[in-house]
Amino acid sequence: MEFKDYYKVMGVARDATEAQIKQAYRKLARKYHPDVSKEKDAEARFKEVGEAYEVLKSPEKRAAYDQLGRNYTAGQEFRPPPDWGTGFETSGAGPSHSAHSDFFDALFGAAARGAARSSRGTFDDGRGEDHHAKVMLDLDATLKGGGRTFSLRVPEIDAQGRLVLQERALNVQVPKGILAGQTIRLAGQGARPSGEGTPGDLYIEVEFQPHPLYKVDGRDLYLELPVTPWEAALGASVKTPTPGGPVDLKIPAASRAGGKLRLKGRGIPASPPGDFFVVLQIALPPVNSPAAKAAYQNMASAMPFNPRTQLGV
């Protein structure tokens, strides 16, 4: 797949203003419109110009394209980085065309084609484009809800019509029980239109930072709980941390490593609430003294045991 230089396709400089990009598109769209153009490749050029315009007219798409394009030239073999597009969604509208190139789909995903036909755009109806961002929340944010402050770098058009990245601090009320992958909509916090009109919206997708104790799986939480061999074998009551505070957890006798204990409804307080699972891990005491070594030797003598019998050896 070849890298496409959308600035070259549009015939504008990389620092072209919003107005210059719009003007170039209108000129080229008239030149290559299949209904009026006599150029033999008019339809292909018309689609190519429309695709370039769809990217460069959108501050969000243009900023992403510029970030990647610093390392490529037109016609160069292109492969998106492995983590390209993580948390990036497109919502910009452009002219309605029947197809996009593989290059466009590699950058913004095939789903962007449908969004491009259905969403409203900065130049078309006076409404600013929607922006999307991904933020990392601590687990307490969903367990308790409440206000959080995020710092985001968002693409905007300055007074001269040029694309710039602005640092914005946003105070966001995080709903209690929000799950990874869900979004928070901030009305009017997206792109501002170039003229009169209303700003777009900002959609914040939520992910969770790794927690030192708990793992998140949907609305369920998991804790790996170390227990001693005798606690697992004989049963015990073990003080165990949970998001709601420590509890005395009953370990059944004859428990095995990897066994799960479920505390219903103690996961993420979604609707319905998730569960809290304790996964047992058997921790062996260290052999750090003659007495400890002797205890292990006595155990080996008193309880002959081969854990590899199921392996046929």
73-114 pLDDT, tens digit each:
777 777 766 555 443 433 333 333 336 787 887 777 643 433
Given 3.40.109.10, 3.30.9.10, 2.60.260.20, 1.10.645.10, which CATH number is that of 214-311?
Answer: 2.60.260.20
> Which of 20-34, 52-66, 185-199, 261-275 is predicted least confidently?
185-199
- Residue ranges of the domains in the chain? 6-118, 131-208, 214-311
Top CATH class of 6-118 equals mainly alpha
Report the SS3 class of residue 260.
strand
The two domains 131-208 and 214-311 share their CATH topology (first three levels equal) = yes
Q: Give the end-to-end CA distance of the chain in Å, rounded to a whole number.
A: 53
- Confidence tier at 34 by pLDDT (50, 70, 90): confident
Top CATH class of 131-208 equals mainly beta
pLDDT of residue 229: 95
**Residue 290 reports pLDDT greater than 80:** yes
CA distances (Å), 35 to each of 14, 39, 46, 47, 183, in order? 30, 11, 11, 13, 42
CA dist., res. 206 & res. 182, Å (int): 6
CA dist., res. 77 & res. 103, Å (int): 11
